[in-house]
A and B are shown apart, each in its own frame.
Chain A
Amino acid sequence: MTVSRRGLLAATASAPALMRVQEALAQGIAPRRGGTLTSILTPEPPVLQIGVNNQGPTLVAAGKIFQGLLTFSPTLEPVPVLAKSWTISPDGKEYVFRLQEGVKFHDGQPMTAEDVIFSITRFHFEVSPRARAIFALIDKAEAPDPLTVRITLKQPFQPFLLMFDNSACAIVPKHLFDGQDFRTAPAVQRAIGTGPFRLAEWQRGNFIRLERFADYWKPGQPYLDAIIYRIVPDSQSRRLALETGQVLLTQGSDVEPFDVPALRSRPNLDVSVKGWEYFSPVAWIELNHRVKPLDDVRVRQAISMAVDRNFITQRLWFGVGKPATNPIASTTRFHDASAKIAGYDVRAAAALLDAAGLRPNAQGVRFTLKHLTLPYGEVWSRLAEYLKQSLRQVGIALELESTDAGSWARRVGAWEYETTINFVYQFGDPTLGVERTYVSTNIQKVTFTNTGGYANPKVDELFAAARNAADPKDRQAAFSAVQKILCEEVPQIWLMEMAFPTITDKKVRNAVTTGLGVHASFDDVFLTA
């Protein structure tokens, strides 16, 4: 058992593998210095301080300004960033990080182990709920010397390393935050990090300009002189800007799914759906188990069999994303491909509803459910309309309710819904991103917890076993078992493993090289002549 873990650690520490991958991706073209990368952010972030704000656009732009100790490859192996190397004690409790030499913040001060410890145990611990939940496991964090950080955990926690990406734990300068309110300190507006680009100009509502940081710790990098993020609120204008070459890169939800096929066929553009492996959101129909008859497993199975996931991914998302097969995304660790939900079968679905004693009335309606449409844009409205039609085929009448984003979050958090659509990031490990939706200990009146109210002691037990086991093998066994149970009980109706198109001009190289894609620092991105 221990041997296998050591084997895994040895493999993860072999960083140069990724550098070769990157070079291969550059297709043998030597990186070229110079040039400005123009891109888009939608919507405009409120601040660029990771931790104070962790929304998508913030993480993309601030990902160039700040860095974490590590990042992750598309297969979620850790890759060194500010940490040159690391070791984990055999009992899984002690983590020692060796830091890179000569790293400077944008204000000229050197980055030391003190900054790293401050960022982990004080800054993110205070401002980010997600970090607090994990960093609460830290018993002590010490700096034996300025370039070494030793963290001792109260108990082994195998997904611990996943918390050291920039998006989860950006390293911030202690000297600018210590003794102040972290959320309102002047440094929040200045956004001072160690990244390859520094914040040069921000015209609100117009653009954010990042400039090359001359004292960056990797010699000769970054290659780009500047990155400009334009704020373009209209999706058709964003598409036009990309087509005409005014911007060279779009990401996330900048481009609507229905525009993707046309952009794929343009000779000057590349469309990639990679680079979301670390986040891997899975979208599902969220059922409120307190509403009858959704507490009946046969009804949930029937709903699951009545939706055609291929139609959803192909016709609504135009191939961006793929049908979900179980609660854990196939790109997240511990996904078990052998655990699968039943396929699309309208007849079997109707038979299950008959067996549950829900007979259709004269209009062919067995029962009526309300559906709170996810107010995140048009494609989600189309999804609700599709679900209404496909559930009607098996005799379930879906009554759509529309709402705004604020009310949606409030109503889901307060359990005031019957069905809706939801998706959450998985952060590479089911303990970090999947467990929260299904364990009964997390049934809370808070959005993105187990708001559906599903409770199964066996599932609780298995998730706890996977959380506390130090050995990946034991964790896999527990996760495989839990995936089998969840696929049987379908507490939520998983629809799609979501992906977001990253669309680049062919001039742009290395935009997506890690499992975090456009959230990376871009110190290796360059423009060909």
Chain B
Amino acid sequence: MRDFWRRFRRNKGAVVGLVILLLVVLVAATAPWLFPGSPWEMAGAPFAPPGEMGMLLGTDSLGRDVAAGIAHGARISLLVGAVSTAAALLVGVTLGAFAGYLGGIADDAVMRFTEFFQTIPSFVLAILLVAIFTPTITSVVGAIAVVSWPPVARVVRAEFLSLRGREFVQAAEVLGKSRLAIVLTDILPNALSPIVVLSSLMVASAILLESALSFLGLGDPNLMTWGFLIGSGRSVIRLAWWMSVFPGVAIFLTVLALNLVGEGLSDALNPRLARQRGGAA
């Protein structure tokens, strides 16, 4: 573990990313204390510029505090990112492991099914799903999960394909371990590092997807999200730039932080790759 942290630390960008990410998590966790009450509350005069009337980041067209919106929005964004990634991982890892370990017809069937999903542009599919199931937090998370599992399935399958012929797997088979036990206790732990790296990037893209949906007015209308803040501020950008700029910065920083952390994780988990990259540079 200490080794892992040392390797992670070597990537300066990753450390910066981790700090930003922790800050975002901290803001999300303390939002109910930092900004008590609902972020929809009309706390001040409409269109107050940042810094005026005690509003750190200004107010929107109804006099709602933009800072409160961002803090409460962080909760939703992180929640959507985490839950939809978890759901996508569950589906992707299961199908990938199934295909990679069994091979043959099972592999073919699962991969064709996966390709079917990969041929549809993911954002369009997400819009369609949310529009059909009416925008609620569940349908948004579901739609994001549905469009993000195929890459996971492919990565996991590739890992399983290469791992299942190794000696330690054969040894486990000879020992008479059940297939399920082999998959869960022998192969999966060894395939974990690419999954961890991939999932950190998936959280970032899930946050982006949710923001894009909310921006188009397809978010849950009862929840304050970053995408909603930008979407509602877009048309008045000439009147109140702060309404779209600050939530935009929040999305940018969070997604950037997640990408940096993902890269750091990749370096830390694949020391050989990292050294090669270091050598080349």
- Tell me whether A381 and B239 are in contact in the complex, defined as CB-CB below 8 angstroms, given that A315-B62, A389-B41 are known contacts: no
Q: Which residue of A lies closest to B240 (CB)?
A: A258
- B165-223, CB < 8 A from A: 217-218, 221-222
- Tell me whether A258 and B236 are in contact in the complex, defined as CB-CB below 8 angstroms, given that A382-B61, A386-B62 are known contacts: yes
Q: Contact: A256 with B232, CB < 8 Å?
A: no
Bound-state CA distance A200–B131 (Å) is 41
Q: Which residues of A contact B218 (CB under 8 A)?
A: 402
CB contact between A256 and one of B40, B46, B221, B235 (< 8 Å): that residue: B235
Bound-state CA distance A455–B238 (Å) is 48
Give the number of chain A interface residues (Cβ < 8 Å). Answer: 23
Q: Contact: B134 with A401, CB < 8 Å?
A: yes
Q: Contact: B235 with A236, CB < 8 Å?
A: yes
Q: Which residue of B lies closest to A315 (CB)?
A: B46
Q: Contact: A389 with B232, CB < 8 Å?
A: no
Bound-state CA distance A392–B131 (Å) is 27
- A216-245, CB < 8 A from B: 235-236
- Tell me whether A378 and B222 are in contact in the complex, defined as CB-CB below 8 angstroms, given that A385-B62, A386-B62, A388-B40 are known contacts: no
Q: Contact: A399 with B222, CB < 8 Å?
A: yes
| Nearest chain A CB to B35 CB, angstrom units | 15
Q: Which residues of B contact A402 (CB under 8 A)?
A: 134-135, 217-218, 221
Bound-state CA distance A381–B235 (Å) is 13
Bound-state CA distance A379–B236 (Å) is 11
| Nearest chain B CB to A315 CB, angstrom units | 6
CB contact between B134 and one of A381, A388, A403 (< 8 Å): that residue: A403
Q: Contact: B217 with A381, CB < 8 Å?
A: yes
| Nearest chain A CB to B105 CB, angstrom units | 43
Contact of B29 with A by CB under 8 A: no
Contact of A510 with B by CB under 8 A: no
By secondary structure, the A interface counts as helix
Q: Contact: A381 with B62, CB < 8 Å?
A: no
- Tell me whether A235 and B62 are in contact in the complex, defined as CB-CB below 8 angstroms, given that A400-B221, A402-B134 are known contacts: no
CB contact between B235 and one of A378, A389, A404 (< 8 Å): that residue: A378
| Nearest chain A CB to B136 CB, angstrom units | 8
- Chain A: residues with CB nearer than 8 A to chain B? 235-236, 256, 258, 262, 315-316, 373, 378, 381-382, 384-386, 388-389, 392, 399-404
- Chain B: residues with CB nearer than 8 A to chain A? 38, 40-42, 46, 61-63, 131, 134-135, 217-218, 221-222, 232, 235-236, 238-239
Extra pairs beyond A258-B61, A400-B221 (14, CB < 8 Å): A235-B235, A256-B235, A258-B239, A315-B63, A316-B61, A373-B221, A378-B235, A386-B62, A389-B38, A389-B40, A389-B42, A392-B38, A402-B134, A403-B134
Q: List 28 A-B contacts (CB under 8 A).
A: A235-B235, A236-B235, A236-B238, A256-B235, A258-B61, A258-B239, A262-B239, A315-B61, A315-B63, A316-B62, A378-B232, A378-B235, A381-B217, A381-B221, A382-B62, A384-B221, A385-B40, A385-B62, A386-B42, A386-B62, A388-B40, A388-B222, A389-B38, A389-B40, A389-B42, A400-B221, A401-B221, A403-B134
